[in-house]
Amino acid sequence: MSVTAPATPSAPSPVRAMDQFATFRAVLSRDLFVTGRELVGFLLQVFIQPLFMLLIFGKVLGDLGYASDDFTNVLLPGVIALNAFLIGLENTALPMVMDFSFTREIEDRLLSPMAIPLVALEKIVFGGIRGLIAGVVLIPVGMLMLDVTWPWAVVFKVIGVLAVGALVGAAVGLTFGTLVPTQHIQIMFTVVMTPLMFTGATQFPLLGLDSLRWYQVICSLNPLTYVSEATRSLVGPSGVESVPLWLDMLVLAGVFVVFTAIGIRGFMRRAMD
């Protein structure tokens, strides 16, 4: 009796790949549409914290003579980078926790004609888009508040940096949202977010910490630092030395790849539970 050799699995057809891309785009469009319906809440999330930071550290302290004009030029790019990174992180981690615990909306995504890693990747892209919006809308407001001007050509480069920073923040958020147990997510944000904010070089240049080497080392381990430094390298004061832009982008690319891989693995593990 002859034995038929098992057929070699064929590669996914272009049609199926196109179907998955169409599903990916439809899911992303739906999430963006929901953002439009929740616009007021989203704008409050975007503006409240950074506006108070700019008001106190940039405007009030400047008017009182405790901060120079150079400091406002150091502060603004850092706060904008902070906003893009954190909004990307929060808008990926928190919805992920709710999807897997309360609403179970993730089950609808998993049943869609789209590979599970693409479902996780859509979460990163969506969080990155919200983070980018958060950073971009803060640019004109911050410039107006602190009386700072940037050339238009540089603004477009800043937007590119913010896009990368928001995606990195979203990748970190995916990792947190899938690896941290639901009952510990609030503790995680309390323990992690504050150190993340104040070791991200948002209010000072990393290379200016030479006299505080131990703190400089801590800040260099924070991916937010490289978003702040990349933004500051484009628009910061000429007398302030920043980490070179190419090095910032290299570090952020590595962080994005590592956290995306960890986050997708954690997402698949949660999805299979």
Distance CA 171, CA 257 (A): 8
Note the pLDDT tens digit of each residue in 20-48.
788 888 888 888 887 777 788 888 888 88
- Containing H/E element for 35? helix 14-37
Q: What is the DSSP letter of 8?
A: P
**Mean per-residue pLDDT, 122-136:** 94
Distance CA 225, CA 197 (A): 9
pLDDT at 108: 67
Note the pLDDT tens digit of each residue in 203-230.
999 999 999 999 999 999 999 999 999 9
Distance CA 180, CA 192 (A): 12
Q: What pTM, to 2 d.p., does this model score? A: 0.87
**Mean per-residue pLDDT, 136-151:** 91
